[in-house]
Structure 1
């Protein structure tokens, strides 16, 4: 009887293991693994650690808030639209090649598939889901900090700034509608008008510093082929798995395009049973990791220039805090000085700024970036990593730096609390606390970066010589074609 009983127990154990694996597969939500294409309501509930926020003393009151938010969920950009159109053509060819093979099991949706955005010629605009993300964030921000948002609106009290890219300025409008809802007399929602200001794209070193920094553009262009090489083995490995699984002759490029489709479908259409279902959870994790590598190298801790070019923004934030303190100590009443500075930009702004203040690092790594030493790349799954772009910069991702006045505190009267996606977050530069004495924040976190000058970091010294050289060659060619006198005449005419 002992042997049959052992067999029964083994079978029960086997069934329980299968059930655990099955449940793990079922609970895997691909929408949590879409890197920077992750929706905000999904991302803000992702928590990879057990960080316990500080208890802010009752006597401490918020006196100023700095917000930096990424735009909300947007439509595919023009470049992505073209890639999805090319994918439709490619899938048609792949299916033609296996048309006669009856044994091939092809997902039904692939046959005759067309991009949901077929016929769309312009892209990148804020969609209704993105509007809601920012509108609701505005409402929650007012509810969380009633002391700061009880005053009547004035552009000098609540300045709102956005880049000239329409999805950022539209996000600022959606946020403002939530923040000031029921504060005006416009329409049933009692909305009110408010100002959103923008700097020219050509000179916006505060919110589009990446667009104005020539050295960064050169660095990024030089690194993109290397990033593609890093991704290549993973894409090729997964392509072989999908060839075996579905019988279609996928290439690494096909996998990249299908992963793009998965992200767009899951984030924008909430569809996870088509392109995303082609991949196993472990494959999704690997694809997410390749995206995170790219973000890390080109926009994050992979190079100090990525975040040092954000120093004008950091300077502006420190200055706004000091102005709020001066206004308070000069005895100005609330409503006569700025209470919140609200900014709306892009992943290329939020990611570097998060790096500037040392988020998503452990203590040893923070010391490394202060010494401007390169960090190791995020470890490959199944190893765990702190750096996940789905948490760092999802759609509508944000950092809030809240300045508190603590008059009864003997050691420091002013503190900065950092909230990431509305949650207090550990600051390695401040002993892993989220509630940091302002002096420590300025000395340990801001000062090491503020020694850098944006224009010195970003200007290419050889610009002038590069501009002169083609002109000199042009005159040299003219001298070959025309005699000396004729060349002088040509110069005069030109």
Structure 2
């Protein structure tokens, strides 16, 4: 699931190449979709950062540890010198705030009069009743933590990258690897799982040790680099703590598109429309994605929405990210300059090392071929 603090992976490859930076960011993705689940698979493209990785990349389904090779990018003439990647954390639980909203919505369903519309058109139980009885298994302690599926996401990613770039991820370079992460627990845990995946690559069949005992060491926390937006005073003042910064988002929540969904959901669940709001509708939509991601099940929450609803809810989420993290305000991008400067400094250093090595090799060749310095 996608917006949260990143992680930085750094490896020096001796002496020429370096795996300089891999930023493992925040929120999560999800688990294997039931192949006969047309409703869930139809909604999946609209979950945004809550989309399961294998839904976004179906090539992971046959073999999630096998890299997908692009022959045009991996010609023999192309030698990787450095790998720079900004990578999101693995699948996570909902946040405590999302869980409280879901509990509020679940309470509305359970509070419906016992005889109110419990029979559906075909005599079966209605969707509201099914959701009232659907187990609410989320607890506040989960609060966005990485789930086991998220650890698997990161281990498999490490295995794919190590297979795709064997020269960079050689065993001799393993000790030079440095993973830098934000202090968010899901990011720290994702970084640890990534390192465990590399251990499996180097030592197949052997259980990985604690990351603190690995040669490369555990992920190093650096919030100033990875959560740069929390350290930019202008961003905090003009956007994060500005009550009017997201006024476009609030306007859309009360606009006709969202109001139509509110009325539709209220009728479907048979609850008063005045008891619903855009935030509750959005958390219901994401609960479909969380159940699918974490447990691999299609819950009744998926049946509340159709594709048209999903498009509107996807837009609402995108609109918030546009104004809070994207192009909406100039300071949003400028606040990331520290991170980008760090990335490009590592790229420049790798190029300089490569050029110096080539110059040394060339001088060595000329000296050994022509000791007197003359051409023959």
Q: Give yes or no for TM over 0.5.
A: yes
Question: Match of 2:115, SS?
Answer: coil
Deviation for aligned residue 1:252: 2.9
What is the 5 A alignment of 1:90-489? 90-93=108-111, 95-96=112-113, 99-101=115-117, 106-107=126-127, 108-118=129-139, 120-155=140-175, 157-183=176-202, 188-189=206-207, 193=214, 194-201=216-223, 204=224, 206-218=225-237, 219-220=239-240, 221=242, 222-233=244-255, 234-250=257-273, 251-253=276-278, 254-331=280-357
User: Equivalent residue for 2:67?
Assistant: none
> 1: CA distance between counterparts of 2:115 and 2:270?
11
Deviation for aligned residue 1:143: 0.5
> 1: CA distance between counterparts of 2:185 and 2:118?
49
Answer yes or no: is the 8 Å Cα contact 2:253–2:316 preserved in 1.
yes
Question: Match of 2:180, SS?
Answer: strand
Deviation for aligned residue 1:121: 3.0
Q: Kindly report the root-mean-square deviation, in angstroms, between the aligned alpha carbons of the 2 structures.
A: 3.1
- Give structure 1 stretches of 5+ with no counterpart: 1-22, 47-51, 333-494
Please say which of residues 234-243 and 290-299 is displaced more in the overlay: 234-243
Larger radius of gyration: 1
Deviation for aligned residue 1:231: 2.7
Question: Match of 2:220, SS?
Answer: coil
Answer yes or no: is the 8 Å Cα contact 2:93–2:145 preserved in 1.
yes
User: Equivalent residue for 2:32?
Assistant: none
Q: Summarize the Cα distance change of 1:247–1:169 in structure 2 as closer, same or farther, 3 Å threshold.
A: closer
Q: Summarize the Cα distance change of 1:312–1:229 in structure 2 as closer, same or farther, 3 Å threshold.
A: same
Deviation for aligned residue 1:281: 1.7
Deviation for aligned residue 1:261: 2.4
Tell me the TM-score normalized by structure 1. 0.54
Question: Match of 1:248, SS?
Answer: coil
Does 2:32 match 1:32? no
Answer yes or no: is the 8 Å Cα contact 2:109–2:269 preserved in 1.
no
Answer yes or no: is the 8 Å Cα contact 1:75–1:123 preserved in 2.
yes
Tell me the TM-score normalized by structure 2. 0.70
> 2: CA distance between counterparts of 1:69 and 1:309?
19
Deviation for aligned residue 1:274: 0.7
Aligned residues: 298
Deviation for aligned residue 1:62: 0.4
Deviation for aligned residue 1:122: 4.4
> 2: CA distance between counterparts of 1:272 and 1:102?
22
> 2: CA distance between counterparts of 1:246 and 1:190?
48
> 2: CA distance between counterparts of 1:139 and 1:116?
32
> 2: CA distance between counterparts of 1:145 and 1:315?
25
